[in-house]
Amino acid sequence: MTTAHRSYFDIVTAIRPDELRAKADAGLMPKDPPRFNAHVHLPPNFTAFDTTKQAVDLAAAQHVGVLGASNYYDYSIYKEFGELAASKGIFPLFGLEIIALIDDLVAAGVKINDPGNPGKMYLCGKGITKFDPLTPEAGKLLGQIRGNDSARMAAITEKLAQVILYRGIDTGLTVDKVIDRVVARHGCPRSTVTLQERHIAQAFQEVIFDIVDESDRWTALERVFGTGPKDPNNAVVVQNEIRSHLLKAGKPAFIPDTFVGFEHAYRSILALGGIPSYPILGDGASPVCPYEEPVERLIDDLKARGIHAVEFIPIRNSPEMLSSYAKALREAGLIVTAGTEHNTRDLLPIEPACAGGEPIPADVKEILREGVYVVAAHQYRVMQGLPGFVDETGGPNREYATDEQRIAAFRREGAALVAIYQSKTSVC
């Protein structure tokens, strides 16, 4: 017998809080420490995966027991994600990613976690639960974000089509036609599509490849880019060059950002029931973005902003940098998670690794696994109407006198929760 027909939501909401607390206090842990990935993007976000099922199947095949999604601006896919994850015995984490502009850092020219744009901050939310249905506040906040983003993507598409037409190729693309391509690729409703620059670049690359014969692409792309292409018949390379030569600041099809401010992004995460989390770029940029070093100053600023969690995409980082930063941040009372994003067409392994495929140091992996357990417990508690790791204002849960006590309690509950879930989703 299996529980494949049951969703994560059915299974987890049936676990009583007193039962979970008792098992956590008794020290229940998963039999084998699960492999984990706390941050991937699922379609129709731009991603390596063609379907959510593909992402879940790959995670299962690679023995990843906890998988977290961090989509932009629409979370309709999370119901299916919860069902598919349960069918494979994978514990799903629900999250989000938002882009914000911090005006004073824009003015000061300070780069945060985007090496190309001063004042631009990527911000994540971990363990969100209030997305089906959206709360009125979340709907209002997200509506403004989506509206701004949709207007900018339409303007980018129109301007890019004009630039490429002027340089000799009539793509005929409009924003609606780009969305049509995303819908066809992923079989998703149009209402769930949040366009990203990568979607637009992919659409233009595909049409150019359809129009221009392989033998003529170097010359055609040289006219379009204003410089010779690196690899004119490689789809992913051409997509990246469309972005770098035409869409970035100072380039001919650039449209200024229309992102919300930090407070708007922060409130959106809280309205969805999540933990605000800062994704660290680290030595994925060279030099390291000034906002992120030294780590002591980063910690002070994050705490001042009410951020109690951070996340790494280790494939960007050396093991040495990941280790030094993760340990310092955890010592300061922040939880730490890690993922892969999978926000390009490169189908990387699901389990995170450091730059060059170097393994994550074992002691750091335990810090990251602890963060996953904390998010799992927060997600469960908020679903049950209980206080989470942070409260509705973003402050720490006041049941605990110190950060260390709070992290330890949520770690125990999260580990017990994953163990119970595994027992209920296993073949018996």
DSSP track, 104-139: HHHHHT---S-TTSTTEEEEEEES--TBTTBPHHHH
Tell me if 66 is assigned to some domain: no
Tell me if 241 is assigned to some domain: yes
Whole-angstrom distance, CA of residue 210 vs CA of residue 424: 49
Count of alpha carbons within 13 Å of 21, Cβ hemisphere only? 5
In the chain, the largest separation of any two C-alpha atoms, in whole Å, equals 70
Amino acid 332: pLDDT: 98
Whole-angstrom distance, CA of residue 154 vs CA of residue 160: 10
In what helix (H) or strand (E) does residue 61 lie, and over which residues does it extend?
A: helix 52-61
Average pLDDT, the chain: 96
Query: Quick one: pLDDT band at residue 5, thresholds 50, 70, 90?
Result: low
Tokens read off for 249: 């600041």
Tokens read off for 423: 């027992």
Helix axes 403-425, 17-25, angle to 10 degrees: 110
Tell me if 368 is assigned to some domain: no
Q: By residue range, what is the domain housing residue 152?
A: 143-247
Total domains present in the chain:
1
Dihedral pair phi/psi, residue 172, rounded to 5°: 70, 15
Tell me which residue of 88, 91, 74 sits closest to 30, measured CA to CA.
Answer: 91
Tell me if 162 is assigned to some domain: yes
Please enumerate in sequence order all residues whose Cβ is within 8 A of that of 221, keeping only pairs 6 or more positions apart, or say none: 208, 228, 229, 232, 238, 241
CB 311 within 8 A of CB 372: no
DSSP secondary structure letters along 169-192: ------HHHHHHHHHHHHT--GGG
> For the residues 159-172, what does the mean pLDDT come to?
98
Whole-angstrom distance, CA of residue 84 vs CA of residue 90: 8
* Residues of the chain above pLDDT 90, percent: 96
pLDDT digits 0-9 by tens, 372-418: 999 999 999 999 999 999 999 999 999 999 999 999 999 999 999 99
Please enumerate in sequence order all residues whose Cβ is within 8 A of that of 419, keeping only pairs 6 or more positions apart, or say none: 23, 28, 29, 30, 31
pLDDT digits 0-9 by tens, 104-146: 999 999 999 999 889 999 999 999 999 999 999 999 999 999 9
Tell me if 225 is assigned to some domain: yes
Q: Is the pLDDT of residue 3 over 50?
A: no
pLDDT digits 0-9 by tens, 233-271: 999 999 999 999 999 889 999 999 889 999 999 999 999
Tell me if 222 is assigned to some domain: yes
CB 43 within 8 A of CB 185: yes
Whole-angstrom distance, CA of residue 380 vs CA of residue 417: 8
Cα end-to-end span (Å), the chain = 5
> Can the peptide bond before residue 290 be classed as cis, meaning omega within 30 degrees of 0?
no
Amino acid 385: pLDDT: 96
pLDDT digits 0-9 by tens, 76-89: 999 999 999 999 99
CB 24 within 8 A of CB 410: no
> Can the peptide bond before residue 33 be classed as cis, meaning omega within 30 degrees of 0?
no
Tokens read off for 350: 């699901």
Whole-angstrom distance, CA of residue 342 vs CA of residue 13: 29
> For the residues 196-204, what does the mean pLDDT come to?
97
CB 269 within 8 A of CB 123: yes
Q: How far is CA 32 from CA 19, 29, 86, 403, in A?
A: 21, 8, 18, 27
Amino acid 4: pLDDT: 45
Amino acid 249: pLDDT: 85
In what helix (H) or strand (E) does residue 221 lie, and over which residues does it extend?
A: helix 217-225
Predicted model pTM: 0.94
CB 28 within 8 A of CB 416: yes
Tokens read off for 234: 């490689």
Tell me if 235 is assigned to some domain: yes
Tell me if 34 is assigned to some domain: no
